[in-house]
Structure 1
Amino acid sequence: MIGVKRCVVHLQLLKRMKKVERLFIVSVDELEQCNKLVGKDDNRTIRVHSHGLRLPLLGLQGVKPRRYFPFKQGSLFVATLRVGPEGVQMTVDGKHVTSFAYRETLEPWLVSEVRISGDVKLISVLASGLPTSEDSDHTVDIEALKSVPLSLQRPVDLFIGVFSTANNFKRRMAVRRTWMQYPEVRSGTVVVRFFVGLTEVVSAKFVMKTDDDAFVRLDEVMASLSRINVTHGLLYGLINSDSQPHRSTDSKWFISPEEWSEEKYPPWAHGPGYVVSHDIAKAVYKRFNEVRLKMFKLEDVAMGIWIADMQKDGLEVHYEKEERIFNEGCKDGYVIAHYQGPREMMCLWQKLQETKRARCCGDP
């Protein structure tokens, strides 16, 4: 009940300090953060000697019960939490008590759990009121989150496949709300699709693979592809040209000699984000349909193996290493930052919009 206690203290102070009252009474979803009827003034005060400020005396023996205070030891009460566009509202026995505004960059769809602590015995919990399309209309622009439909008449420069799983809704929403809002995606020249099932075949100049926890500087990817100016045999990403299979069975990347007998892998690009040209993507698709594609459990290494096999068959391969793709975390100047949760994604996008610079969220 800490939030309610804070409300009582704030309201008592506000009534003693009329000049600053407007600075503290803040609304959340058009409801005051602290309901004025929660507490009642007590005339007794104490003096804080360092500043000479007279404050209400709260919580001492003999203080009269507060009017409308919703909690009484040993008594039942029904508390309701409602998640709104701006914050969370709390009512007790039908009366609005307090509201909590979301922290900066936190949106309603990121609220997925409630924690109850303190000297409270929980008897039952009822969850209801799942979001409806009508509610969503007041929260976000749903149309802005939808992928632009594919069109045979509109040329596609880059197709991006985002690896995800069915239960990673929050991650996909973060991607939709951030780097999928680049003009290239909204116009359809760049197509983004989540790989949670089968995907239609799209004809594009380049194909990119990334993950749902990777933040992609799409403008920088497109600028790099334009600078490289290679349209055939291209593998663009954080290229690793000198790696060996993990032979320890304790490793999550363990590869047995039966799976890969050679001492080293051919060059490959780390999984958070890499791009291949159309001819490589088409060859992979063709070989898969012809059952000529060697399966390998590390998908990024697998692409390197497949490209090396094509090279043996005469393909001229151009390996373009991008040092600004960070495989573990984020560094300033990034093109791709990996292992970013939904809140970090929103923060990175906000920094880009405000500063026009690729700054990580640990930076001021």
Structure 2
Amino acid sequence: MGEVWMKLSKVMLLKLTNASSIHVLVVVIFIVLSAVLMLDLLNLSSKMAHMNKDNDEYSHKHGQTRGIKEWKNIRRSVGTEPLPYLILKDIVNIDTIPVREPTCAVNSILMILVTSAPDHFDRRRAIRNTWAKDRKTHNDSNWQTFFLIGNSRDSVKNRKIEDEFYEYGDILLGDYIDTYRNLTLKVQNGFKWAVENCQPQYLLKTDDDCYVNTRYFPRFLDQFNPNRDGLYAGAMFNDRGVVRDKNSKWYVSPEDYPMSVYPRYASGTGYVLSKDVLQRVVEAFSEVHPFPVEDAYTGVVVHRVGVSMLDTGRFTMYNKQWRICNYLYLLVIHGVTPEQQYLALKYTDDTLVECPGQKESVTWY
């Protein structure tokens, strides 16, 4: 194309030899600018073709089709909170770390799934050093702990999380943007993974600001729990109204959930499901439209599959100045700082010598 423009320029210059020098100069400038513009357009076209080829290869490699719906969800996922919920199958990897799955023991007594934010490194470290440690010297039951984390908008944090995954092997990285409004996706992802890969006899969902009494909890479930099937237990919320204020982080639209009141459900700070209930809940995910209040959503799904909630005081939503012997009873304590995790573990260990004549609780009440 460049050669054609050069020949055309020469022809026009020959025809304009009798014209005034000003006219000749104007024509020459026009010809040169036109040639430059045409060459830029050709280069741009070549680059776009190369980019399209790369995108096609990426989509083929990852089994993804980037349609209009997928790209809309990407734009929604990287906005500012409050975020709408995102359906798992519509989320597309773009500038995020890939999904990573840890290795789990199959058919353990208890699996503990801890929801954690990408930048909560200090909380995860404290949990690993305290109640998530292998406590088999005091407890013969087989149990395991994993952290649920999504993708951060910060690429540096993503790289740190991936390094943490390879170092500890206890993180399930999900393909969703990690925000408070996406907690429902986080829990769905964890439950599905547990059912498909691990099949624990009981599953506890909790948060990274909670203390779990792993000295007594697995043994209680294994040896004393009377509710082997149909178990959904925690600290109960009853007759809670659905928040319709769009400025609230707990906002749920009538389209997402039309009822004005939730059925009673367990606080997301900690609730436990038996294996049969976990299986039925995961199967019902496709039947119950997800909305961005994780614990209420789980309660709605459990209610749909016909399971009643067991309200227990052994799960507490408040971190008070508990006496040492209270740790013979308490199973989950909410509102615990990383520093307090070490103290709570010490109190639990101290029950062996500080509570003579007192036995660990063997009921839910």
Greater percentage in helix: 2
Higher RCO structure, 1 or 2 (CA under 8 Å, sep 6+): 2
Larger strand share, 1 or 2: 1
Structure having the higher Rg? 2
